[in-house]
Amino acid sequence: MARSSSKTARWLALLEGPQTLGKGPRFWAPFALVLAAACAYPLFADGYDVGNNVYFFNWTFMAMGLSLIWGYGGALSFGQTAFFGVAAYTYGIISINFGDAYGLTLVALLGSVAVSALLAAVLGYFLFFGRISGVFLGIVTLSVTLVLERFMAQTAGPEWRVGAARLNGFNGMGGMPSLTIPWPGGDIALFPDVPLYYITLALVVIVYLALRILVNSRFGNVLVAIRENPQRAEMLGYDIRRYQLIAFVVGSGLAGLSGVLYTSWGNYITPASMGMTAASLPIVWVAVGGRSDLTTTLLGTLLVLAGFQALTIYGSQYALVVMGVLLVLTVLVAPNGIVHAAGTLFSGRFRRRVTEREAL
């Protein structure tokens, strides 16, 4: 009885006591150092490498959203690429039909993210309020992704168009404009270059810090409690379905943001972006990085993406094999993530050295 009361007390402390955003200099000093290096990078790199790093940044929003849904909320979703694709095609339809003047691409961006979030709200309502969880949640979200991919693949005929925007089936939609920023002297087009790099980097930092605030708030504490034991969290009076739905909508909206940024970066989108391979890759990024920690998720995603791109030079099949091996190693050796395990090991050694120096 005393043991049960102790467990309940710890759960109440978890739910009622939000954690701090960081741990003083242990968080902010490395964060400032990494941010300064990222800001200085374009000064020492050529335009191609800078634009290529924008491509990497574009995927981090989806990864951080999946970390919120899966790592903190405990709901494994294979549907992030579905929301990615919906937002990407929506951006193409809006921007092709209305153009890029007067900052209309920003309106297209916001509208596309809103559409993906709305789709997530509808789907998530039936999933979570229908008490679908565990492996069945993954199956349903994967099914939705594959259905959307199959549907978009058969839209090659001339009848499949929305205004001036043709969907083009397997060939994908192209010709949509890049993002533009309205300016008194004329709109600024954000091509894959230095200005887009800094804007995307700023978005990554804003989303990362906003999610840290969210997961360290009361909402985040309840979400982690639901992940650990949903029955107990519900018995303590929390509507776990509402919390899971909110996390699902936020994470899916971030996947939609990735879709819009990717589409405006490359000026195209294809149904393959919602295929089986595409749906599984975000799971690998987040698992390898460490799904229950936003920092390791972000770092792991960038590292795995860089390695994946380097391996595709020798053939995409080699890259996919390595991704599969990484996932197996993560499950067997480092369930909390390879990057997370390496960081924990390094920080542990660093603390021991500091303690030894202080003792001397």
Summarize pLDDT for 122-154 with one digit per residue, the tens: 999 999 999 898 889 999 999 999 999 999 999
Give me the pLDDT at residue 12, please: 46
Amino acid (1-letter code) at residue 320? L
Q: Which residue has the higher pLDDT, 203 or 318?
A: 203
276-289 and 135-153 helices, crossing angle to 10°: 140
Distances in whole angstroms, Cα of residue 10 to Cα of each of 98, 222, 291, 336: 55, 13, 23, 22
Please name the residues in contact with 202: beta carbons below 8 A apart, sequence gap of 6 or more.
none
Q: What is the pLDDT of residues 148-162, one digit of tens each?
A: 999 999 998 888 999
Q: What is the pLDDT of residues 166-197, one digit of tens each?
A: 999 999 998 899 999 888 777 788 888 888 99
Residues 257-274 have a mean pLDDT of: 93
- Tokens representing residue 36 in the block: 């300064």
- Tokens representing residue 64 in the block: 């951080």
Quote the percentage of the chain above a pLDDT of 90. 56
74 DSSP 8-state letter: -
- Tokens representing residue 180 in the block: 């533009």
- Tokens representing residue 226 in the block: 């639901």
pLDDT band at residue 17 under the 50/70/90 scheme: very low
Selection from 239, 287, 232, 302 nearest residue 37 by Cα? 302
CA distance 282 to 68: 13
Give me the pLDDT at residue 7, please: 52
316-332 and 294-312 helices, crossing angle to 10°: 150
CA distance 137 to 241: 13
Give me the pLDDT at residue 191, please: 85
Quote the percentage of the chain above a pLDDT of 70. 88
Q: Of 84-98, 176-190, 218-232, 341-355, which gets the smallest average pLDDT?
A: 341-355
pLDDT band at residue 287 under the 50/70/90 scheme: very high
CA distance 7 to 16: 14
Phi, psi (deg, nearest 5) at residue 165 = -95, 120
Q: Above 70 in pLDDT, residue 256?
A: yes
Q: How wide is the angle at C-alpha 357 spanned by C-alphas 353 and 360, nearest 5°?
A: 140
CA distance 51 to 249: 29
Q: Considering the chain, what is the average pLDDT of its residues?
A: 86
Tell me the H-state helices in the chain: 2-16, 25-40, 47-66, 80-98, 104-128, 135-153, 194-215, 218-228, 230-235, 240-266, 276-289, 294-312, 316-332, 338-359
pLDDT band at residue 348 under the 50/70/90 scheme: low
pLDDT band at residue 201 under the 50/70/90 scheme: very high
Give me the pLDDT at residue 2, please: 47
Give me the pLDDT at residue 301, please: 93
Neighbours of 167 (CB within 10 A): 23
Residues 318-330 have a mean pLDDT of: 87
Give me the pLDDT at residue 341, please: 86
Give me the pLDDT at residue 355, please: 57
pLDDT band at residue 21 under the 50/70/90 scheme: very low
CA distance 170 to 88: 15
Contact 269, 173 (CB under 8 A): yes
Contact 92, 110 (CB under 8 A): no
Q: Above 60 in pLDDT, residue 11?
A: no
Residues 310-327 have a mean pLDDT of: 82
Domain ranges of the chain: 50-272, 275-360
Residues 113-119 have a mean pLDDT of: 96
Q: Which residue has the higher pLDDT, 213 or 13?
A: 213
Contact 178, 190 (CB under 8 A): yes
Q: Above 70 in pLDDT, residue 359?
A: no
Residues 264-276 have a mean pLDDT of: 91
